[in-house]
Amino acid sequence: MAADATEVVVIGSGFGGSVSAARLAEGGAKVTVLERGPWWDTVPVRSMGIANRTAFPRGLSLFRRALRAVHHPLLPGGSLRISRKGLLEVYVSRGMEVICSSGVGGGSHVYSALHRRPARPDFWDGHCDGLDEATMAPHYAAFLARVGSARPGLSNTPPHGALKLYGDHPHFAPVVPKDEVRVGFLFPRDPANPQLVTTEAGISRWETDYGSGDHGFLGAPSGSKSTMDFIYLGPALRHGLDVRPLSEVVAIIAQPGAARRFRIDYVDHAARRRSAIEADHVFLGAGTMNTLRLLLQSRDVHGGLRGMPHLGRRFSGNGDIRGFWDLNTPDTDYTEGIPSKGAIRLRDESRPQVGIGRNNMPSVDAYPFPRFVRQRLKRGMVVSGMGEDAMDGTASIAGGRFRIDFDPANSPIYGRIYEVMQEMARLSGRPVYAGRRPSTVHPMGGACLGRLEAVGVVGADGEVHGVPGLHVVDAAAFPRPTAAPPTLSIGAWAENVAARFLAKN
Ligand SMILES: Cc1cc2nc3c(=O)[nH]c(=O)nc-3n(C[C@H](O)[C@H](O)[C@H](O)COP(=O)(O)OP(=O)(O)OC[C@H]3O[C@@H](n4cnc5c(N)ncnc54)[C@H](O)[C@@H]3O)c2cc1C
């Protein structure tokens, strides 16, 4: 198998991958992005001139393309692939389910676009020399500025917000976060009349249409949501960035003594063949689950990497539990507005004071279900809680298969969130369908930041201890749970890794 060559290969194009790839290409590096999923068919991606696009799953294609793969220990081979062009991926593991996504832009297509700092103000302090809250501050600012993340004003506030609905409620109160929460949506100047706008980079997108309900976790075709494909990758294409969709990496092989330090083996799903590319540097941003899987498989199955004694340790689900609050509020359509409607807490202070986020079901009009089912889904809310868990899970390879072991009993946060959700059900007289078993959309850790190989996997510049040239740019590197939505911190971390690389090379 002949391999072509480049300077930097970035694996994955979510927050970690896109941010680092764009910054490196714009800084003059020769960069190739390998992304296993397709370009999604959105207004901005069309305006970028990308020819081969895939429509988000809607209608009957929900059955074919909502899921890329399911991983379960009892499945033959441990996995069932449903579609190379599927949007979501589910890992069923010991003690927890994890949901992640696929496609150019990664999780930015499915997220609710909440940008929030970690709950602890000292998140970055004390793990590595030369890295702390102060050194990370400019990277947070750079990410927020590029995304244009903002808050709506009084005149264009989206409907169903917690502040408005629960300001005077007898049982529930809106959560007013200590830090500022920003949102990656392009808010309409006039909510009754959203406009098509063209960015400075010549990319078109629509302002958010609060009435469409079509911009949640099944993607936003209009471009109202700020996604990494057009915010970071689009402008970088003009700097020579090479993005290869439908390219699934299967192994990273270090080449000791060779001119190119790594060979990256991947499956080219478009051409239906195996390929390889060599690079001096690899930036791994496949999302926590797939970053850990690739590192472990490359080391333990393919023998392509060595060392990393702490790899797989300190995996966290960020304390996530979610459920459905079957409010069935008459004459109400909670899909109006933006996906996140703000969090609430119990007014009774003798109860756990955990904020419960409220989100609507996305794109319900496109579900191939009877009308009454769709209506019921529109009249209820997806509820979720998160917080600091024990971060004591492990990721490993057993019998050639990737697995996560996590015992939720060690993390009191889950019991507290579950108690609040059950109390919400009792006080509202409406059921909350939630399990005690964690289901996270925010996996993190497992390749954690640490001063030395003896305590962590990566250093302050994201480079893996003992494997020069290999970097981790996603939340697998986080030293503790963010206890908050993590994308702002993943973006800032990738900005930091890219800036340090450019300063050094
Ligand atoms: C429903 C939902 C709502 C969310 N809402 C929010 C929110 O409001 N705020 C927030 O901060 N977070 C939110 N999140 C979480 C957020 O989406 C993730 O934390 C984030 O996407 C992780 O970024 P990442 O760069 O680490 O990886 P990802 O965004 O997951 O990107 C990884 C990319 O790598 C690709 N990849 C994986 N394996 C390979 C391989 N072998 N070869 C090539 N490519 C590969 C994937 O296809 C994917 O495109 C939400 C998540 C979900 C599911």
Tell me what pLDDT residue 34 has. 99
Cβ(174)–Cβ(167) under 8 Å?
Answer: yes
pLDDT grade for 1, boundaries at 50, 70 and 90: low
pLDDT 10s digits, 304-347: 999 999 999 999 999 999 999 999 999 999 999 999 999 999 99
Ligand 1 pocket test target in 32, 36, 225 with most atoms within 8 Å of CB: 36
Q: What is the pLDDT of residues 149-168, one digit of tens each?
A: 999 999 999 999 999 999 99
Q: How far is the CA of 291 from the centre of ligand 1 (A)?
A: 11
Sign, Cα dihedral of 226, 249, 440, 486:
negative
Average pLDDT over residues 199-213: 96
Q: Which residues pair with 313 in a beta bridge?
A: 394, 446
Q: 487-504 and 15-26 helices cross at what angle (nearest 10)?
A: 30
Return the structure tokens found at 454.
């003896």
Q: 321 and 96 in contact (C-beta within 8 Å)?
A: no
Q: The domain 4-206+215-504 belongs to what CATH superfamily?
A: FAD/NAD(P)-binding domain (3.50.50.60)
Two tokens, residue 377: 């889904």
Residue 2 is predicted with a pLDDT of: 60
Distance 240 CA to ligand 1 centre (A): 24
Q: Which atom of ligand 1 is nearest to the CA of 476?
A: 26
Q: Which two tokens stand for residue 380?
A: 């209820």
- CA separation for the pair 298, 313 (Å, rounded): 17
Q: What is the mean pLDDT of residues 285-295?
A: 98
264: pLDDT strictly greater than 70: yes
- Model confidence pLDDT, tens digit, residues 460-477: 999 999 999 999 999 999
- What element of type H or E holds 424? helix 412-428
Distance in Å, CA 66 to ligand 1 centroid: 15
- Walk across the sheet containing 96-101 and list its strands: 79-81, 67-71, 88-93, 96-101, 439-440
What percent of the chain has a predicted confidence (pLDDT) above 90? 95
Are the C-beta atoms of 422 and 436 separated by less than 8 Å? no
Q: For 430-461, what is each residue's pLDDT tens digit? A: 999 998 899 999 999 999 999 999 999 999 99
Contact 156, 218 (CB under 8 A): no
| Average of per-residue pLDDT across 226-240 | 98
Strands (E), 67-163: 67-71, 79-81, 88-93, 96-101, 114-115
Strand, coil or helix: 16: helix
What local confidence, expressed as pLDDT, does residue 73 receive? 86
pLDDT given for residue 109 in this prediction: 98
Parallel/antiparallel/unpaired status of strands 39-40 and 53-54: parallel
pLDDT (tens digit per residue) in 345-364? 999 999 999 999 999 999 99
pLDDT attached to residue 154: 92
464 CB within 6 A, ligand 1: no
Tokens coding 113: 């676009």
Residue nearest to ligand 1 atom 17, measured at CA:
107
Q: What is the pLDDT of residue 341?
A: 97
CA distance 486 to 127: 18
Q: C-alpha distances in angstroms, 482 versus 116, 307, 326, 478?
A: 9, 27, 29, 8
Q: Where are the beta strands (DSSP E) in 12-159?
A: 31-34, 39-40, 53-54, 67-71, 79-81, 88-93, 96-101, 114-115
393 lines ligand 1 (CB under 6 A): no
Quick check: CB of 16 below 6 Å from ligand 1?
A: yes
Mean of per-residue pLDDT scores for the chain = 97
What span, in angstroms and rounded, lies between the C-alpha atoms of 119 and 239?
36
Strand partners, 99: 90
pLDDT band at 257 (very low <50, low <70, confident <90, very high): confident
DSSP one-letter code for 297: I
| Residue whose token pair is 């930041």 | 449
How far apart CA 1 and CA 258 sit, in angstroms, is 17
Q: How many helices (H) and strands (E) does the chain have?
A: 11, 28
Q: Which of 327, 338, 345 lies closest to 360, judged by CA?
A: 338
**Residue 485 CA, closest ligand 1 atom number:** 11
Which residues touch 433 (CB under 8 Å, ≥6 apart)? 323, 324, 326
Domain boundaries, the chain: 4-206+215-504
Mean predicted confidence (pLDDT) in 255-259:
79
Residue-level pLDDT at 87: 98
Question: Measured in angstroms, how far is the CA atom of residue 257 from the centroid of ligand 1?
Answer: 34
The rounded distance, in Å, linking the Cα atoms of 88 and 40 is: 13
pTM to 2 decimal places: 0.98
Question: Cβ(35) to ligand 1 under 6 A?
Answer: yes
Sign for the pseudo-dihedral over CA of 270, 272, 274, 275: negative
pLDDT at 259: 73
Tell me how far apart the alpha carbons of residues 131 and 459 are, in angstroms, rounded to a whole number: 9
